[in-house]
Structure 1
Amino acid sequence: MQPPSAAPVPSSASGSTPLLVEPEVRRLDGVAREVSVPPLVAPVTYGSLADLPFENAEAAPADVVLSRRAEAGKWTPVTAAEFAEQVRAVAKGLIAEGLAPGDRIAVMARTTYEWTLLDFAAWAAGLVTVPVYPTSSVFQTRWILQDTGAVALVTETAAQAAALRPERERLPDLRHLWVIEKGHVERLAESGAHVPDQEVAVRRGVLGPDTLATVVYTSGTTGRPRGCALTHGNFFAEVDNAVELLYPVFKARTREEASVLLFLPMSHVFGRMVAIACVRARVRLGHAPSLKSEDLLADLASFRPTCLLAIPYMLEKVFNVARAKAELGRRVSTFDRAASVAQRYGEALEAGRAGTGDGPGRALRAARAFYDPLVYRRIRNAMGGRVRYIICGGSPLGRRLAAFFVGAGIEIYEGYGLTETTGAATVTPPLKPRMGTVGWPLPGVRVRIAADGEILLAGGPVLRGYWDPQAGGVVPATADGWLATGDLGSLDDEGYLAITGRKKEMLITAGGKSVAPAPLE
C-alpha cells in the first residue's frame, strides 16, 4: 500500500542516478529575465508531514533515522519504529493536556533532538508549531506568543521559563509552560498513556497539504516581524524536490552511511527544512546545540557526518583557522600553495562538468594528491573525517572559497531562499555547478528579475500568506503569485542566479535611475 503522503514521481527521477533537468530561460530584449525548472516530484495531494515518522516505521522499522546525544562523545541510535512511537506518545500527551486541532504551540530551544520530536508530535496532534529563537528577548517572545495566540510554550531551560512567568498576565491564551531540561517532554508522553492511538490517527487523517504547519517569524528589519504561514504542502514541495535534486546527499547509497549533523538554529526555516528532508529520506540526523568551537568540534568528531549545513561565515572561519594554524607551525607557505592548487582544481572540475574545459589535468591532479595529506585531509578530519557535502546559504559565498573546498574534496551546494520560500528557492545543480552563483531554481520554482532588478519568486514552496490575527488568520502574501524578495539579482544566459544587493540599498540618481551602490562580494 502506498503511503498516504506519497506522490507519483517521474520515472526518471526515481531511478538510481541523479538527473540534470535544464531550466527554461525567458528573455526580454536579449536579456535573461525569467527562469524555471519543472518539478522532479508531483505535488502531494493528500496527507501531511505528520505521516512521515509512521510511514518510515512501516517501511523500514529498523533503519536508524536519528541519533540522540547522550553523555559527551556518545550518540544513541533511534530507529524509525522508535521515533514513530515517541512521536505518537508525545502527541497523545498534547491531546491529553487539552490542545485542540489548529492550536499553536511555541518552541524556544536550541538545535536539539526534542525540537524535531516536538515538531512531528505537534503535527500528529493536529497543532501548528511556532519557533522562537532561544536568544529572543522577553518582549520579542511575548509579541510572538500574543500574535499567534499560542496556548502552549516549550522552553529548553528553566531560566527561559522563569523570565517569561511575569508576562503570563499579558498572555491570556497561554495555558501551558513546559521545560525540556525538567523532563516535561517525557512527562507529556506519560500523561497521554490513556489516550487511544486511534485519536492520533484521526487527527492525522484530517490534515492535508493545505493545512497550516507552522508560523515562522521573519527577523523584522523594519517594524514588527511578520509571521510566515507555511503549510504542509509548502514543505513537501520544498523537501521532495530538494531530496531528488541533491541526490548525492540524500539518496546515493555508498559504503558510508549518509548522515547530517544539524547545528544551525531550528528556529530558522532552513534548519527545520533539512531536518524534515532527513526524516523524509531516512538519512540519519543528529543535533548539535552548541556553536562553541570546542563543543562543535567534539560533536563533529563523534558523530562523523557526511553532510553539513553552513553559512559562508563558517566556511571562512574554517579556512582562516586552518591557515592560522599553519602559520603557527611555520607551514603557511605550504598552506598557501595548497590553497592555490585546490582553487584551480575546483575551477577545472567545474569547467569539465560544464563542458567548457577538460577537467583537472594530470599535473593538477598530482599536485592535489600531494597536498591532500598535508592540508586538505586535516580540514576534513576537523569536520569529522567523512564530510563530502556542505549545503551553504544565508549570504553569497565567494567563488574562490567555494573552489577551495571543492578542490579539498568537499562539494558545495549553495542555495538562496527566504523564510517565505520554506528554505531554498534556488540551489546548485550537482551535475552542473557554477560557483559564484546560487544556482538554478529548485525544481518547481520560478525566478523572475523585475525591471528594477528585484528578484521575484513563485512556485510550490512559496507561502500562501502571512499570519494576521486581526484578519482572522492568514492573509495572502501576493496579489499575483509572485513574491517580491527585496533582494537584487541577475540571471546569466543559462539561468544561473547571482545575488547583487538589497533593494533598500538602492540609490536614485538625479535622472531617476535606480542603481545599487555596490555588488555583494
Structure 2
Amino acid sequence: MSQPPLTEPQIKTEHGRVREISVPPLAPAVTHGNLADIPFTNAVEAPAETALTRKGRTDTWWHMTTRDFAREVQAVAKGLVALGLNPGDRVAIMARTTYEWTLTDFAAWTAGLITVPVYPTSSPSQARHILQDAGVRACFVEDVQQSRLISAERGNLPGLEHLWQFSSGAVGHIMDAGRDIPDAAVDERRARTGPESVATLIYTSGTTGPPKGCVLTHGNFFAEVDNAIELLHPVFRSVSAEPASTLLFLPLSHVFGRMVAIGCLRARVRLGHAPSIQTDDLLADLASFAPTFLLGIPYVLEKVYNTGRATAEKMGRASSFDRGARIARRYGEAVEEREHGHGDGPGWGLRAARGLYDTLIYRRIRAALGGHCRHIICGGSPLGRRLAAFFEGAGVAIYEGYGLTETTAAATATPPLKPRLGTVGWPLPGTAVRIADDGEVLIKGGHVFSGYWDARTASAVPHLDADGWMPTGDLGTLDDEGYLRITGRKKDLIITSGGKNLAPAPLEDWLRAHPLVSQCLVVGDNRPYVTALLTLEPDGLAHWQRMHKKEHLSTAELLVDGDLLRNLQQAVDEANSQVSRPESIRRFAVLPRDFTETDGHLTPSMKLRRAAIVRDFAAEIEKMYVR
C-alpha cells in the first residue's frame, strides 16, 4: 500500500515572514454516525480480524477479534441502560491504561453517554472537582484504593449514584444487569448520536488554576483521527509485511493516548494496553508484545537513550556509544536534507559507519522498544533536534507533533518523507495555524473543541476569537516552509529586570534531557539574571555514583559534591550554548527532592506548576540572587 500524496500547504506571508499556514484535509468530513459505530462497523466488515491483544493472568497475550470486542461493547452498553443511565448522562473513568478503559469508553458512547476521564493519580480534591463540575452520575474505578478515594467524597457528590470497580468484576456485573435489554434499545440510542453530539469532557491539567472541562464532540475525534491515519500512512497502514500494532502505555485520561486508541480501532490496528510504566514492567511488556509503532513523550525517549548510554558506560564502552550517537545524528540529518532537496542523503562512508554501529548500538536501542518498533509518534513537549536525529539514524522514524486537549490532541505533525528535525511539523490536514502579532499560536480546524464546560448550563462556552481562531497560549514561529516551532508558554514568559524577554521551555527541555537531571525550573522574572532549580534523576544519579565510586554518599553530601556539581555545570553550559548571554543560566541550585504530583509541583500530565514551585522553594531561589 503506497503513501497517499500529501497536499502542499498554503502559506501566507506578511512583511516577509510566514504568518499562516493551512493544509487541506486528506479525509472527508464525517456527516453522520459517531465513535460508537467503529466496533460494530469493524465486526461487520472484518469479523475475524484482531482488534485488540490482551494480557492474561499468566502474562501471555491473546487476541480478541473485532466481532468479540463489538459483542462486549454491546453487552456493557445494555447493562448501563438497564441501570438507569440516560442519553447525555456523564460517566467518569478513573483507571490506568487498561482494556477495561477502552471497553467502557465505547460502551458508554454506544448507550448515548458522555465519558469523563479522571487521572488515576488524582488527589481527592482533584477528583471531587471534576466529578462535581461534570455532574457525573456514575464512576468506574480500577481498584480498591481508588474506590475508597471516591467513596470518601460521596457526601460531596450527591449526583453520583453508581461506583463500579473493575478489579472486583464490575464489567461482568454490568453485563449481567443488561441481559434482558433488547439490542434494539441500544441500537436506537446509538443511531440518535451524531458527529455534533458531545463525546467526552476532558479536564485540563490546571497549571494556572482549577481544571476546565474541554467539550469534545464525536466529530472532533473523527476530524482528528481520520486525517492522522491518512497522514501517518506508514504508521497506521504498515507498509511492511508485518501488520501494524501498538502497545499503549500513556494514560487514556490524557487526550493524546485516547486519540491513538480510537485511531487504532478506526484503522484496525492491533492495540494492546500496558498499565504499568515502571521501567522493568514496561520493557517486559514491550518485548513480549513487539509493537511496530509507539506513542511516546520525550521523557520516555530520553530514558531509553540515557539507559543505553549508561549500560555502555558500565561495560567500558561509553566512547563507542558516543561515536555511534554522533553517527546516528549525522545520518538522520543527512536523510532530512535529502527529503528537502538539499543534498544526496547519507554517503557511502556514513552508511557503512551506520551499519557497523547498528550491530553495536542501534539494535539494542530498538530492542528496548520491543525489537520491531520502526515509528514513534511523540508529543507532550518538544523532543529536540539532537534526540530526533539520533532515533532517525538508529532506525526509528520520529513523528513529532503538537496539540492540546482543546484540539483533540495533535494540531500539527511531522509529515512522512518531509521531516524537519526540531520542529513539530506542519498543520494536521484540515488545520490552519497562524502566529499572532504577539507570537501566540492560533489554530483552526474540525478537531478544535466546542468550548469549555459550563456546569450551570451543562453546555459548552465557545472559546474562539471573532475570526474563528483558537488562542493556544503557546508561543511559536513558522519557518520559510511553514514548519512550526514551539518556543514556550505565553504565561510562562520571563522578563528580567533588564527588560530581556525569554521563554524558559527550551532551556528546561535541554537540561531535562541530561541523564542526571529529572526536572528543571528556570527563574528570572523581574530578576537581574536567569537561574534554575534542578532535581536529580534517581536512575541517572545511581549510575553516576557507581561509576564515580560514591555510593556511600548521602543525599546531603551529594548536593555539595564537587564532581557532581561540575557535571551539572557542564550540562548547564551546554544548555546556555543554545541561547544568548542575557538568556543564559548564571546560577543553579540542586534540590534535595524531586517535584511530584503529590506535593503539588506537577500536574497529572507531568507539567510544572510554576507558581507552587516558586512559592515552596522561595528560600533556595533567593540564595541564588545573593552576591
- Whether the TM-score (by the shorter chain) exceeds 0.5 is yes
CA–CA distance in 2 between the matches of 1:42 and 1:221?
36
> Equivalent residues in 2 for 1:328-477 (5 A)?
328-477=314-463
* Shift, 1:507, TM fit: 4.6
> Equivalent residues in 2 for 1:139-150 (5 A)?
139-150=125-136
CA–CA distance in 1 between the matches of 2:500 and 2:430?
31
1:493 alignment counterpart: 480
> Equivalent residues in 2 for 1:269-348 (5 A)?
269-348=255-334
* Shift, 1:104, TM fit: 0.3
Task: Quote the sequence identity (%).
Answer: 62
Q: Deviations over 1:212-260 (max 9, x none)?
A: 0000000112221100000000000000000000000111342112101
Q: The residue matched to 2:247 in structure 1 has which SS? A: strand
The one-letter amino acid of 1:140's match is Q
1:505 alignment counterpart: 492
Structure 1 runs, 4 residues or longer, greater than 6 Å off:
none
Asked if 1:247 is matched to 2:252, the reply is no
Q: Is the 8 A contact 1:73 1:298 kept in 2?
A: no
CA–CA distance in 1 between the matches of 2:504 and 2:142?
42
* Shift, 1:518, TM fit: 5.1
Q: Deviations over 1:140-195 (max 9, x none)?
A: 11111111110000000012111221321221111000000001111111211111
Q: The residue matched to 1:470 in structure 2 has which SS? A: coil
Q: Is the 8 A contact 1:342 1:404 kept in 2?
A: yes
Q: Is the 8 A contact 1:505 1:516 kept in 2?
A: no
Q: The residue matched to 2:43 in structure 1 has which SS? A: helix
CA–CA distance in 1 between the matches of 2:389 and 2:257?
24
* Shift, 1:519, TM fit: 6.3
Counterpart among 117, 120, 142 of residue 106 in structure 2: 120
Q: Deviations over 1:105-154 (max 9, x none)?
A: 00000000000001100000000000000000111111111111100000
1:62 alignment counterpart: 48
CA–CA distance in 2 between the matches of 1:333 and 1:492?
36
* Shift, 1:414, TM fit: 0.1
- Greater mean deviation of Cα atoms: 161-170 or 215-224: 161-170
If asked which structure has higher relative contact order (CA below 8 Å, sep 6+), I would say: 1
Q: Deviations over 1:471-512 (max 9, x none)?
A: 34211122432111111000001000001111113356899x
CA–CA distance in 2 between the matches of 1:232 and 1:296?
31
Q: The residue matched to 2:180 in structure 1 has which SS? A: coil
CA–CA distance in 2 between the matches of 1:510 and 1:219?
30
1:394/1:519 CA distance change after superposition, 3 Å? closer
The one-letter amino acid of 1:91's match is A
1:158/1:360 CA distance change after superposition, 3 Å? same
1:519/1:301 CA distance change after superposition, 3 Å? closer
The one-letter amino acid of 1:75's match is W
Counterpart among 465, 475, 482 of residue 469 in structure 2: 482
CA–CA distance in 2 between the matches of 1:185 and 1:285?
20
CA–CA distance in 1 between the matches of 2:501 and 2:11?
25
CA–CA distance in 1 between the matches of 2:177 and 2:426?
48
CA–CA distance in 1 between the matches of 2:57 and 2:368?
21
Runs of 5+ in structure 2 lacking a partner?
511-627
1:508/1:112 CA distance change after superposition, 3 Å? same
Q: Is the 8 A contact 1:212 1:230 kept in 2?
A: yes
The one-letter amino acid of 1:94's match is L
Q: The residue matched to 1:119 in structure 2 has which SS? A: helix
Q: Is the 8 A contact 2:225 2:259 kept in 1?
A: yes
Q: Deviations over 1:363-412 (max 9, x none)?
A: 11111111111100111112111000000001111101111000000000
The one-letter amino acid of 1:499's match is I
Q: Deviations over 1:425-471 (max 9, x none)?
A: 00000120100000000001110100000001111110011111123
CA–CA distance in 1 between the matches of 2:322 and 2:4?
35
Q: The residue matched to 2:424 in structure 1 has which SS? A: coil
Q: The residue matched to 1:357 in structure 2 has which SS? A: coil
Q: The residue matched to 2:295 in structure 1 has which SS? A: strand
1:176 alignment counterpart: 162
Q: Is the 8 A contact 1:507 1:516 kept in 2?
A: yes
Q: The residue matched to 1:433 in structure 2 has which SS? A: coil
CA–CA distance in 1 between the matches of 2:42 and 2:428?
25
TM-score (norm 2): 0.79
2:564 alignment counterpart: none
1:84 alignment counterpart: 70
How many equivalent residue pairs? 506
2:591 alignment counterpart: none
* Shift, 1:516, TM fit: 2.8
CA–CA distance in 1 between the matches of 2:81 and 2:323?
61
Q: Is the 8 A contact 1:70 1:76 kept in 2?
A: yes
CA–CA distance in 2 between the matches of 1:115 and 1:181?
12
CA–CA distance in 2 between the matches of 1:372 and 1:444?
38
CA–CA distance in 2 between the matches of 1:319 and 1:519?
21
Counterpart among 9, 25, 40 of residue 26 in structure 2: 40
Q: Is the 8 A contact 2:94 2:139 kept in 1?
A: yes
- Greater mean deviation of Cα atoms: 72-81 or 197-206: 72-81
- Greater mean deviation of Cα atoms: 210-219 or 244-253: 244-253
CA–CA distance in 1 between the matches of 2:495 and 2:346?
46
CA–CA distance in 1 between the matches of 2:408 and 2:401?
12
Counterpart among 497, 501, 509 of residue 515 in structure 1: 501
CA–CA distance in 2 between the matches of 1:28 and 1:510?
32
* Shift, 1:331, TM fit: 1.1
Q: State the Cα RMSD in Å.
A: 1.4
Q: Is the 8 A contact 2:492 2:504 kept in 1?
A: no
1:129/1:518 CA distance change after superposition, 3 Å? closer
Q: Is the 8 A contact 2:430 2:446 kept in 1?
A: yes
Q: The residue matched to 2:332 in structure 1 has which SS? A: helix
Q: The residue matched to 1:174 in structure 2 has which SS? A: coil
2:565 alignment counterpart: none
Asked if 1:53 is matched to 2:39, the reply is yes
Q: Is the 8 A contact 1:111 1:289 kept in 2?
A: yes
CA–CA distance in 2 between the matches of 1:177 and 1:276?
25
CA–CA distance in 2 between the matches of 1:311 and 1:514?
31
1:468/1:319 CA distance change after superposition, 3 Å? same
Q: Is the 8 A contact 1:73 1:302 kept in 2?
A: no
Q: The residue matched to 2:116 in structure 1 has which SS? A: strand
CA–CA distance in 1 between the matches of 2:72 and 2:458?
34
Q: Is the 8 A contact 2:441 2:471 kept in 1?
A: yes
Asked if 1:225 is matched to 2:207, the reply is no
CA–CA distance in 2 between the matches of 1:507 and 1:266?
33
TM-score (norm 1): 0.95
Asked if 1:197 is matched to 2:218, the reply is no
* Shift, 1:47, TM fit: 0.3
Q: Is the 8 A contact 1:20 1:431 kept in 2?
A: no
The one-letter amino acid of 1:244's match is E
Q: Is the 8 A contact 2:489 2:503 kept in 1?
A: no
1:339/1:64 CA distance change after superposition, 3 Å? same
